[in-house]
């Protein structure tokens, strides 16, 4: 997916996944990571939580901090891997004060804290975790102190209906709560899943996004020449088959011997 080429030649096709053709298309890859933010891969948890960075000072001290895009750094002072560390991490991500370590036991907030420390949560992609963090933050503002076992199917349905004006958001809310309650049932925190029987909302774009025709692809390539940012994004998405969350991370650091090598979400 690095660029368009003659179908008779070797290299990528519109349906192919060959990545060893960087030089052929002369695309300038730029690194999204400033040099002072490059981290040690072997010391990072996998998959890496979003916006979490590790840095080793000149004195040999390892420090952890959260930084969103080019925003300010928020230092995490608790010991890495502890409950307090992840509590401080979530507070930094949300831009909110750290919640009390003595959250009401058996409440929704308490259970969500445990869920976000679980292997189930760690197994989600970075993009999914970011999306669900935003959903859970809104839920906690209105129902964080509600006893977990008191949450009924009617309450879940009410939450969905509250978002019905934006069906896609309503469905994402339902997916997030299903994932949480599936874990809660398996962990014996609740006896049943209140999201069962609550249906997704229908929405206008159920059939998905329009797939560009060959003519539309050629029009885009004609308008945006090789070397432009728009063409780079187009080629990366079209010829590698990477998801959006992975494509935006591609830079010089992922190119080795003319091929792109990247760990996907």
Asked if 248 and 161 sit in the same domain, the reply is: no
Q: How confident is the model at residue 46 (pLDDT cuts 50, 70, 90)?
A: low
- pLDDT for res 206: 57
Q: Which domain holds residue 123?
A: 103-210
Asked if 111 and 206 sit in the same domain, the reply is: yes
- The answer to whether residue 88 is domain-embedded is no
- pLDDT for res 121: 92
The three state secondary structure string of the chain is CCCCCCCCCCCCCCCCCCCCCHHHHCCCCCCCCCHHHCCCHHHCCCCCCCCEEEEECCCCCEEEEECCCCCCCEEECCCCCCHHHHHHHHHHHHCCCCCCCCCCCCEHHHHHHHHCCCHHHHCCCHHHHHHHHHHHHHHHHHHCCCEHHHCCHHHHHHHHHHCCCCHHHHHHHHHHHHHHHHHHHHCCCCCCCCCCCCCCCCCCCCCCCCCCCHHHHHHHHHHCCCCCHHHHHHHHHHHHCCCHHHHCCCCHHHEECCEECCCCC
Asked if 151 and 201 sit in the same domain, the reply is: yes
State which of 59-63, 93-97, 116-120 shows the largest mean pLDDT: 116-120
- pLDDT for res 207: 62
- pLDDT for res 35: 45
- The answer to whether residue 171 is domain-embedded is yes
- The answer to whether residue 57 is domain-embedded is no
- The answer to whether residue 56 is domain-embedded is no
Q: Is the pLDDT higher at 239 or at 220?
A: 220
pLDDT in tens, 147-164: 999 999 999 999 999 999
Tell me which residue of 58, 61, 67 sits closest to 33, measured CA to CA. Answer: 67
169: Cβ contacts below 8 Å, ≥ 6 apart:
163
- The answer to whether residue 112 is domain-embedded is yes
Specify the length of the chain in residues.
265
CATH of the domain at 136: 1.10.150.130
- The answer to whether residue 167 is domain-embedded is yes
- The answer to whether residue 45 is domain-embedded is no
Mean predicted confidence (pLDDT) in 167-182: 95
- The answer to whether residue 238 is domain-embedded is yes
Asked if 113 and 201 sit in the same domain, the reply is: yes
Asked if 147 and 184 sit in the same domain, the reply is: yes
Structural domains of the chain, count: 2
Asked if 108 and 206 sit in the same domain, the reply is: yes
Asked if 107 and 177 sit in the same domain, the reply is: yes
């Amino acid at each position: 997916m690095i660029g368009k080429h003659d179908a008779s030649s070797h290299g990528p096709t519109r349906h192919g996944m060959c990545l060893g053709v960087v030089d052929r298309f002369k695309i300038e890859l730029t690194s999204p990571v400033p040099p002072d933010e490059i981290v040690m891969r072997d010391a990072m948890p996998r998959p890496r939580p979003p916006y979490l960075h590790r840095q080793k000072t000149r004195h040999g001290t390892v420090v952890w901090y959260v930084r969103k895009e080019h925003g300010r750094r928020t230092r995490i002072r608790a010991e890495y891997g502890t409950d307090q560390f992840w509590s401080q991490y979530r507070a930094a991500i949300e831009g909110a004060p750290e919640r009390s370590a003595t959250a009401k036991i058996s409440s929704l907030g308490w259970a969500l804290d445990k869920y976000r420390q679980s292997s189930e949560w760690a197994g989600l992609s970075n993009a999914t975790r970011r999306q669900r963090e935003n959903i859970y933050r809104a839920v906690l503002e209105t129902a964080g102190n509600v006893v977990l076992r008191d949450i009924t199917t009617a309450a879940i349905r009410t939450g969905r209906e509250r978002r019905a004006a934006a069906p896609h958001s309503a469905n994402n809310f339902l997916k997030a709560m299903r994932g949480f309650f599936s874990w809660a049932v398996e962990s014996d925190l609740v006896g049943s899943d209140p999201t069962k029987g609550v249906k997704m909302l229908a929405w206008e774009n159920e059939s998905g996004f329009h797939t560009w025709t060959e003519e539309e692809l050629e029009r885009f390539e004609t308008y945006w020449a090789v070397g432009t940012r728009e063409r780079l994004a187009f080629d990366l998405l079209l010829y590698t088959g990477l998801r959006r969350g992975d494509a935006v991370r591609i830079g010089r650091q992922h190119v080795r011997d003319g091929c792109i090598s990247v760990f996907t979400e």
